[in-house]
């Protein structure tokens, strides 16, 4: 038996409506199978479970109950063939929208389609690649920080001076309303006279400590600016009360070869400076690349067309939501408290997340499509090395009771796939950067010039194309450990729209 007819109608939201007409004899077959299945669950007088004739089961259970069970079994049976015959690529499970006719039985099934991306002329994107050089002043700032970290701090019997470390007992309340407490009494150590806009509890506070000795008490009033970083303090006027507890002077070590040796085992001060410079250059380039890459990706997104079903966007919103929940948990908060503080319900919250989710979705689709077009590849050895490093990191960072199953093959398979996706994404973004900066064009010209100057060599078989995913060999744990792999179950059709 086969499905008689399938009509396909593409919908505006990148879903497809499949109208499926089912032969009467197939429906009857499913009704008989459904009756036999249901008969095993109930007692029918005079018959053993599952042995009652079909008419008896119908009289006992009812035609509608049998039809509902038969419909579910029918859809489970024909759905894979319907998808294949309709020649569509689903994003996820479809759902039964309706049954326009019962004789013959006609099913209307809505199926979300895989996303489609029409790339713009991303190869024509050009953006100057001009990372700022690391200044000697930046190197000096790190050296000064290291000096302060290795400073000799000792109590002194004199008033506080510039550069001293002063410990104060401090508290603060709002000056308006009910004088709400904003800083509970606590002891903090401050460096007097630091020129720091992020100084706590407010910029310039430590200057109030100049000339103070242990036991001195004082108060000051400060109004936080309207654009202050901490939202709860924006525009707030606060009354600060503090008492000096200790005054200590700092003696900074001299910047010389001995300091370099003590700080990190460097041969001399110049070696230390060179190490700092290399670190700052790498850090600066990473920050610059991140901003540069996102600007190029945004331009590529703007010139491309995307089609995706609403379910895909909803899934992306769920991902953004989970990221926020994890961020809140790190701050000791939960989503319920967060939404209450903003007087927001779940629907409004998801709507607020929608723009960011849309961008992330388009970003991922764009990178995936460009990776395919550019034929971005990951060497098997690189994948194995990166996956092993990730697995070793998990062994080191996870609690023992959460890492018991790191040797589980399903977990490792999922880990390797996730690492592969990360590497492909990284390499695709790097290629986009080379395109936009003009570096790829220069490299291609150089390779063509070099190739023209060298005689051709016989081609060798490329065995890497048939290489399977690498098998990981995890380190032996010191105790039984357990982590569940994130394996996905096959999607089953949902009968509710």
Encode 92-159 in three state secondary structure.
CCCEEEECCCECCEEEEEEEEECCEEECCCHHHCCCCCCCCCCCHHHHHHHHHHHHHHCCEEEECCCC
Q: If you ran DSSP here, which 8-state letter would residue 440 be given?
A: H
Phi first, then psi, for residue 69 (nearest 5°) are -65, -40
Spatial neighbors of 2 by CB under 8 A, at least 6 apart, are: 23, 81
What pLDDT sits at residue 471? 56
> Is the bond preceding 438 in cis, omega lying within 30 degrees of 0?
no
- In the CATH scheme, what is the code of domain 5-113? 3.30.70.1050
How far, in Å, CA of 422 to CA of 364, rounded? 11
The pair of three-digit structure tokens given for residue 82, joined into one six-digit string: 């319907």
Q: If you ran DSSP here, which 8-state letter would residue 229 be given?
A: S
Domain ranges of the chain: 5-113, 124-151+255-301, 153-251, 308-373, 375-449+465-497
pTM: 0.74
Half-sphere exposure in the Cβ direction for 378 (13 Å, CA): 26
Percentage of residues in the chain with pLDDT exceeding 70?
90
What pLDDT sits at residue 195? 67
How far, in Å, CA of 80 to CA of 75, rounded? 9
Percentage of residues in the chain with pLDDT exceeding 90?
66
Of residues 294 and 103, the one with the higher pLDDT is 294
What pLDDT sits at residue 448? 80
The pair of three-digit structure tokens given for residue 241, joined into one six-digit string: 């009360």
How far, in Å, CA of 214 to CA of 165, rounded? 12
475 alpha carbon, distance to own chain's centre: 27
pLDDT of 171 > 90? The answer is: yes
Name the band, by pLDDT with cuts 50, 70 and 90, for residue 431: very high
Bridge partner list, 107: 20
How far, in Å, CA of 231 to CA of 484, rounded? 39
The pair of three-digit structure tokens given for residue 66, joined into one six-digit string: 């049998």
51 alpha carbon, distance to own chain's centre: 55
Are 156 and 244 in contact, with CB atoms under 8 Å apart?
no
Rounded to an integer, the average pLDDT of 34-61 is 86
Are 19 and 82 in contact, with CB atoms under 8 Å apart?
no
What pLDDT sits at residue 465? 38
Task: Tell me the pLDDT of the chain averaged across its residues.
Answer: 88
pLDDT tens digits along 371-404: 999 999 999 999 999 999 998 888 888 887 777 7
What pLDDT sits at residue 489? 37
pLDDT of 63 > 60? The answer is: yes
Report CA Rg, the chain.
Answer: 34
Give the largest Cα separation in the chain, rounded: 105
* CA distances from residue 287 to 10, 143, 168, 281, 384 in whole angstroms, order as listed: 44, 21, 37, 10, 27
Phi first, then psi, for residue 243 (nearest 5°) are -130, 130
Name the band, by pLDDT with cuts 50, 70 and 90, for residue 408: confident
What pLDDT sits at residue 485? 41
What pLDDT sits at residue 201? 92
Name the band, by pLDDT with cuts 50, 70 and 90, for residue 453: confident
Name the band, by pLDDT with cuts 50, 70 and 90, for residue 232: confident
How many C-beta atoms lie closer than 10 Å to residue 90's C-beta? 18
What pLDDT sits at residue 150? 92
Domain 153-251 falls in which CATH fold? Chitinase A; domain 3 (3.10.50)
How far, in Å, CA of 379 to CA of 210, rounded? 62
How far, in Å, CA of 162 to CA of 185, rounded? 25
Name the band, by pLDDT with cuts 50, 70 and 90, for residue 194: confident
Name the band, by pLDDT with cuts 50, 70 and 90, for residue 330: confident
Collapsing DSSP to helix, strand or coil, 88 comes out as coil
How far, in Å, CA of 122 to CA of 302, rounded? 10
């Amino acid at each position: 038996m086969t499905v008689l007819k399938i009509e396909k109608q593409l919908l505006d939201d990148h879903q497809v409506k499949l109208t499926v007409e089912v032969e009467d004899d197939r429906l009857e077959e499913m009704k008989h199978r459904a009756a036999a299945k249901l008969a095993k669950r109930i007692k029918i007088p005079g018959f053993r479970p599952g042995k009652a004739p079909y008419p008896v089961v119908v009289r006992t259970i009812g035609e509608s109950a049998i039809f509902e069970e038969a419909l579910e079994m029918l859809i489970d049976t024909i759905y894979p063939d319907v998808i294949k015959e309709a020649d569509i690529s689903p994003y996820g499970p479809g759902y039964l929208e309706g049954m326009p006719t019962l004789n013959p039985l006609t099913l209307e099934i809505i199926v979300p389609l895989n996303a489609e991306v029409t790339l713009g002329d991303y190869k024509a994107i050009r953006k100057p690649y001009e990372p700022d050089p690391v200044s000697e002043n930046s190197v000096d700032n790190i050296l000064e920080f290291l000096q302060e970290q290795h400073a000799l701090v000792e109590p002194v019997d004199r008033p506080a001076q510039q550069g001293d470390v002063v410990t104060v007992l401090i508290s603060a309340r709002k000056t308006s309303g009910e004088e709400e407490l904003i800083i509970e009494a606590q002891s903090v150590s401050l460096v007097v006279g630091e020129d720091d806009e992020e100084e706590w509890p407010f910029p310039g506070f430590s200057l109030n400590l100049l000339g103070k000795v242990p036991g001195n008490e004082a108060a000051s009033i400060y109004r936080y600016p309207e654009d202050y970083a901490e939202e709860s303090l924006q525009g707030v006027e606060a009354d600060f009360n503090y008492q000096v507890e200790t005054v200590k002077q700092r003696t900074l070590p001299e910047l010389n070869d001995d300091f370099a040796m003590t700080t990190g085992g460097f041969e001399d001060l110049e070696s230390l400076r060179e190490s700092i410079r290399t670190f700052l250059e790498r850090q600066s380039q990473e920050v610059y690349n991140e901003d540069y890459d996102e600007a190029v990706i945004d331009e590529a997104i703007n010139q491309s067309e995307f089609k995706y079903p609403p379910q895909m966007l909803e899934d992306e919103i769920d991902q953004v939501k989970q990221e926020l929940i994890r961020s809140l948990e790190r701050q000791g908060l939960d989503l319920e408290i967060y939404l209450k503080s903003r007087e927001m319900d779940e629907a409004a919250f998801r709507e607020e997340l929608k723009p960011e989710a849309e961008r992330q979705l388009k970003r991922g689709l764009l990178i995936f499509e460009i990776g395919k077009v550019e034929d971005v590849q990951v060497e098997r050895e690189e994948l194995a090395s990166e996956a092993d490093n990730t697995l070793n990191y998990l062994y080191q960072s996870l609690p023992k009771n959460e890492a018991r199953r790191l040797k589980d093959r399903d977990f490792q398979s999922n880990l390797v796939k996730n690492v592969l996706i990360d590497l492909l994404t990284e390499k695709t973004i790097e290629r986009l950067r080379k395109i936009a900066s003009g570096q790829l064009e220069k490299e291609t010209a150089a390779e063509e010039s070099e190739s023209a100057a060298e005689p051709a060599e016989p081609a060798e078989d490329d065995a890497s194309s048939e290489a399977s995913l690498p098998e990981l060999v995890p380190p032996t744990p010191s105790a039984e450990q357990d982590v569940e792999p994130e394996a996905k179950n096959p999607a089953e059709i949902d009968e509710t729209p």
